[in-house]
């Protein structure tokens, strides 16, 4: 059991009209923990994140986010401590410039102007968006719009960051930016829950995985082991994992840099080919 978890679901049930979605779901996420929420389409992953953000209320059970029961709360009651990236970033872009968009949350939280300006400038630089500050978000490519939405989630320096498909539709450069920023936030103590079909992103950046299927969490543990155990569920293994298994490379994490390092060491230790 986590001490002072940033998210705690206890025996949660949820259903849309005539459609059961979650049944008896319990989980905890601790500070600084990076958790991937994986599973097939329609498994209820986005629904779970919306329960965490008080966008929905459970039919049974309880949800606490950053120590606050979500019952009878609205998302704005969590906005000072929780950042949320929608699966469709256009759902959260409402302002006419990138700078105004990113500063939207702090302004509505009543921050002083100097603090708003400082935090906005910092997060724009963090996501390489400074040059786009005066641009309308919809004049940016889709990948950059997703970064703007992420900046809006990060600007309050949240204790808990909820990401719904953070790398979807990103080019290589934007994807690297997201990976870097999520790693940095984890190192600063922020907890992250990321819904993703991008298992390469998940294993590069996060440490724990939950598999949601048939309305329940069916796997929960260290991410590489969960993926190995879940092949029969149809989840793909990331490319570095396939390489590590084929060679094979024992006792190696599946992060690309670790596999590359182990492969280089294997080549050095085997010596030059014998003629």
CATH of the domain at 54: 3.40.50.300
Verify that 108 and 164 share a domain, yes or no. yes
Distance CA 105, CA 155 (A): 8
Most confident residue range from 1-10, 61-70, 243-252: 61-70
Does 1 reside within a domain? no
Distance CA 184, CA 218 (A): 29
Report pLDDT for 206.
96
Q: Backbone phi, then psi, for 174, in 5-degree steps?
A: -65, -40
Does 189 reside within a domain? yes
Write out pLDDT tens, residues 164-200: 999 999 999 999 999 999 999 999 999 999 999 999 9
| Nearest C-alpha neighbor of 168 from the set 88, 249, 80, 72 | 88
pLDDT band of residue 264 (cuts 50, 70, 90) is confident
Verify that 214 and 250 share a domain, yes or no. no
Verify that 163 and 180 share a domain, yes or no. yes
For the cut 60, the answer to whether the pLDDT of residue 251 exceeds it is: no
pLDDT band of residue 262 (cuts 50, 70, 90) is low
Verify that 43 and 91 share a domain, yes or no. yes
Does 92 reside within a domain? yes
Write out pLDDT tens, residues 200-212: 999 999 999 999 9
Task: Give me the domain span that covers residue 258.
Answer: 238-275
- Judge contact between 85 and 121, C-beta under 8 A: no
For the cut 60, the answer to whether the pLDDT of residue 214 exceeds it is: yes
Cβ within 8 Å of residue 220, ≥6 positions away: 27, 208, 209, 210, 211, 226
For the cut 80, the answer to whether the pLDDT of residue 239 exceeds it is: no
Does 2 reside within a domain? no
Does 253 reside within a domain? yes
Between 253 and 45, residue with greater pLDDT: 45
Verify that 255 and 123 share a domain, yes or no. no
Does 155 reside within a domain? yes
- Judge contact between 225 and 218, C-beta under 8 A: no
Distance CA 107, CA 127 (A): 20
Verify that 64 and 200 share a domain, yes or no. yes
Write out pLDDT tens, residues 19-37: 999 999 999 999 999 999 9
Of 106-120, 135-149, 163-177, 231-245, least confident by mean pLDDT is: 231-245
SS3 category, 165 = coil
Distance CA 65, CA 176 (A): 29
Verify that 220 and 257 share a domain, yes or no. no
Report pLDDT for 90.
87
Verify that 79 and 18 share a domain, yes or no. yes
Report pLDDT for 249.
63
For the cut 90, the answer to whether the pLDDT of residue 50 exceeds it is: yes
Q: How many domains does the chain have?
A: 2
Does 252 reside within a domain? yes
Cβ within 8 Å of residue 265, ≥6 positions away: none
Verify that 219 and 252 share a domain, yes or no. no
Verify that 210 and 242 share a domain, yes or no. no
Verify that 267 and 187 share a domain, yes or no. no
Between the two ends of the chain, the Cα-to-Cα distance in Å is: 58
Verify that 132 and 47 share a domain, yes or no. yes
């Amino acid at each position: 059991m986590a001490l002072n978890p940033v998210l705690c679901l206890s025996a949660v049930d949820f259903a849309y009209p005539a459609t059961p979605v979650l049944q008896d779901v319990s989980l905890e996420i601790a500070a600084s923990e990076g958790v991937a929420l994986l599973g097939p389409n329609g498994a209820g992953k986005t629904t779970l994140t919306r329960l965490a953000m008080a966008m929905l209320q459970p039919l049974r059970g309880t949800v606490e986010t950053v120590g606050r029961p979500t019952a009878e709360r609205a998302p704005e009651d969590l906005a000072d401590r929780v950042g949320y990236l929608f699966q469709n970033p256009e759902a959260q872009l409402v302002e006419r410039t990138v700078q105004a968009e990113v500063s939207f949350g702090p302004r509505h939280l009543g921050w002083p102007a100097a603090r708003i300006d400082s935090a906005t400038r910092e997060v724009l630089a963090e996501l390489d968006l400074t040059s786009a500050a005066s641009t309308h978000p919809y004049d940016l490519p889709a990948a950059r719009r997703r970064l703007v939405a992420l900046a809006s989630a990060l600007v309050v320096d949240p204790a808990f960051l909820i990401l719904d498909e953070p790398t979807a539709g990103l080019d290589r450069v934007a994807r690297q930016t997201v990976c870097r920023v999520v790693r940095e936030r984890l190192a600063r103590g922020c907890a992250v829950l990321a819904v993703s079909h991008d298992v390469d992103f998940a294993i590069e950046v996060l440490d724990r995985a939950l598999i949601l299927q048939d309305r329940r969490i069916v796997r929960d543990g260290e991410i590489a082991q969960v993926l190995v155990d879940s092949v029969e569920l149809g989840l793909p293994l990331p490319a570095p994992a396939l390489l590590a298994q084929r060679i094979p490379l024992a006792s190696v994490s599946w992060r690309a840099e670790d596999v590359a390092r182990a492969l280089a060491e294997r080549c050095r230790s085997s010596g030059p080919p014998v003629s």
